[in-house]
Amino acid sequence: MRSAVSVGNFRQYQEKFQQGPGTVPSGVGDSHAMPPAAPASTVGDYPVHVPPSMEKYGRHEDFPPSLVSTCYERHKTHFSDPILEPLREDEDPLSEKGAERWERSRRYNRIRGAALKLAPGFASPRSSAKSPAMQRTASGMRDASPYNPPLYSPMEYDATRRATTLGEQEEVKNFSLNLRQRAVLNNDAEMTSLLLFHPYETMLLVADEKDQISLYNFEETETKVLSFGNKNPPGSRLTSLNWINEAEESLLTCGSDDGVIKIYHGLHSPHPSLDSPKLLSAFVAVPDLVPGTRGSGLVMNWQQQAGAMYAGGNSSMLRGWDLRQEKCTVALPTQTDSCITSMASDESIPGMVVAGFGDGTLRIFDSRSRPDYSVKTIMREHASWVVQTHIYAGRNELLTGSVTGELKFWDLRYPKNSVKSLEAHRSPMTALAVHDYAPIFASGSHNQFIKVFRSDGEQLALIRYHEGFLGERIGPVSCLAFHPRRLFLAAGATDSVVAVYSSDN
């Protein structure tokens, strides 16, 4: 390969090394030739002086780098790689980790299929968040695939929607539920502040009023499997728990009211190892969070498909974190002095977050917009602290509840006014949980009772006492949680008792 040396550069090298006009310096004719062994030689009547320090490509160290070709080195690196790269251990179905991963995937698929059968007309596939495989299939242009149907005319769409709505209403009316107490767990704490079911495993996480987190296998035993501390500073408390990457080896995120989020690994099985959990990462998600025991603390919302974690609370900003890059990508002003008390989002609408506030307002944020215009709608029908917000995935339906016991149903396409209101109870409502795949929700009160409703407002159950020979009264309810894909309800109170209820169906 000939070297691209200009006439000016050649004359410059001639003068520097005192070469004759007919001399070709060694190493310039062939860019990849090795320097000659002899330091000097003659060609005709002209002496040839070899420049010192001929390091790379047989050129002098002062040779302009822009004239050096890297084509050979790049292709050498490319062709030195093996054509058949070995599979990772967790991708090889013949390895131990790969076989475990494939078995877990098949088991999780069966659980997802069973969840759709809890209320077939209500929990239809269109109302559930798409899996990653379905997302990949549906990306790009519209085709006639089963996951991305073709466009319909307005008349066809209206007819389909009317038929679907009538089917859902019939399914809701025919849905019945008979809850029985399945287990009573002793948390060994003054009160229970947070409850979190794993979507696929038989695991229940229980957090106390400080920093202790306990893991229970609620189907096998009522004793703790393990307990660990989040190690947040004294005086702070855990205010949020969430699972991420739940379909794989899931990670647990813990948020405390000092503004810090910690991510743990090793809690993806009801039988964890002795050294579990392991702290993977920790970062200050909300640096300007105002501390205090009377506020909401740190509130999180995770969007799996986007890999985004939204965090807010006693702060004037709602921040979005890209956990793949581990950096804050958006900071949206809340436009109010009140704190964020709850958040909800829909995987089918990336970038949209609905947040409830301590003054009773609801705000819809769009992180794709400029920060000053990110608040799209403000809903003001609640007059007090918003306890919970829940979006039914893929249905444009929102359910919210305030501390006064008032529940409101919203259509996110027309969010100015609520569609329906329901007075769950007249005493203060301290907890609200909504099921994703069944038309039910539950509310709890400090007056020591739990009510379970159908989504049309019909009351299905009233829980006041623990089942058993003594039949003690349940404590003031502090938190409630439904299993995302099964008919299990967990209830925590201002004592050390956690009750788990299941359906007889």
CB-based contacts of 39, cutoff 8 Å, min separation 6: 50
Report how far residue 496's alpha carbon sits from residue 505's, in angstroms, rounded to the nearest whole number: 29
Residue 261 main-chain phi, psi, to 5 deg: -110, 130
Which residues are registered as beta bridge partners of 342?
356
> Residue 158: which pLDDT band, with cuts at 50, 70 and 90?
very low
**Distance linking the first and last C-alpha atoms of the chain:** 79
pLDDT of 150 strictly over 60: no
pLDDT of 161 strictly over 50: no
Cβ atoms of 49 and 27 within 8 Å: the answer is: no
Report how far residue 66's alpha carbon sits from residue 419's, in angstroms, rounded to the nearest whole number: 68
Report how far residue 309's alpha carbon sits from residue 261's, in angstroms, rounded to the nearest whole number: 10
The pTM is what?
A: 0.75
pLDDT of 505 strictly over 70: no
Cβ atoms of 89 and 99 within 8 Å: the answer is: no
DSSP class of residue 90 equals G
- pLDDT for 169-222, tens place per residue? 666 777 888 889 999 999 888 899 999 999 999 999 999 988 999 999 998 888
Report how far residue 195's alpha carbon sits from residue 255's, in angstroms, rounded to the nearest whole number: 13
Give the percent of the chain with pLDDT over 90.
53
Residue 494 main-chain phi, psi, to 5 deg: -80, 30
Which position has the token pair 């909800």? 344
Cβ atoms of 396 and 419 within 8 Å: the answer is: no
Which residues are registered as beta bridge partners of 451?
443, 462
pLDDT of 475 strictly over 60: yes
Among left, alpha and beta (phi > 0; psi -120 to 50; other), residue 126 is alpha
Buried b (16+ CB within 10 A) or exposed e, 269-290: bbeeeeebbeeeeebebbeebe
Average pLDDT, the chain: 81
pLDDT of 76 strictly over 90: no
- Lowest-pLDDT range, 25-34, 276-285, 403-412? 25-34
Distance of CA 389 to the CA centre of its chain: 17
What integer pLDDT is reported at residue 141 of this predicted model?
30
Residue 29 main-chain phi, psi, to 5 deg: -65, -35
Fill in the amino acid letter for 292.
Answer: G
What integer pLDDT is reported at residue 275 of this predicted model?
82
Locate 237 and state its tokens: 């408390």
User: SS3 string of 221-262?
Assistant: CCCEEEEEECCCCCCCCEEEEEEECCCCCCEEEEEECCCEEE
Strand order in the sheet with 429-434: 429-434, 440-445, 449-454, 459-463
- pLDDT for 236-271, tens place per residue? 999 999 999 998 889 999 999 999 999 999 998 888
> Residue 122: which pLDDT band, with cuts at 50, 70 and 90?
confident
Locate 287 and state its tokens: 């640096």
Cβ atoms of 201 and 215 within 8 Å: the answer is: no
- Lowest-pLDDT range, 286-295, 306-315, 489-498? 286-295
How many angstroms separate the most distant Cα atoms in the chain?
117
Fill in the amino acid letter for 270.
Answer: P
For the chain, the structural domain boundaries read: 7-80, 171-503
Fill in the amino acid letter for 268.
Answer: H
Report how far residue 361's alpha carbon sits from residue 316's, in angstroms, rounded to the nearest whole number: 15
The CB-based long-range contact list for 202-205 (8 Å cut-off, 24+ gap) reads 202/270, 203/267, 203/270, 204/490, 204/498, 204/500, 205/241, 205/252, 205/267
- Lowest-pLDDT range, 91-95, 104-108, 147-151, 426-430? 147-151
Locate 504 and state its tokens: 């007889």
Report how far residue 23's alpha carbon sits from residue 378's, in angstroms, rounded to the nearest whole number: 82
Which CATH superfamily does the domain covering 171-503 fall into? YVTN repeat-like/Quinoprotein amine dehydrogenase (2.130.10.10)
CB-based contacts of 6, cutoff 8 Å, min separation 6: none
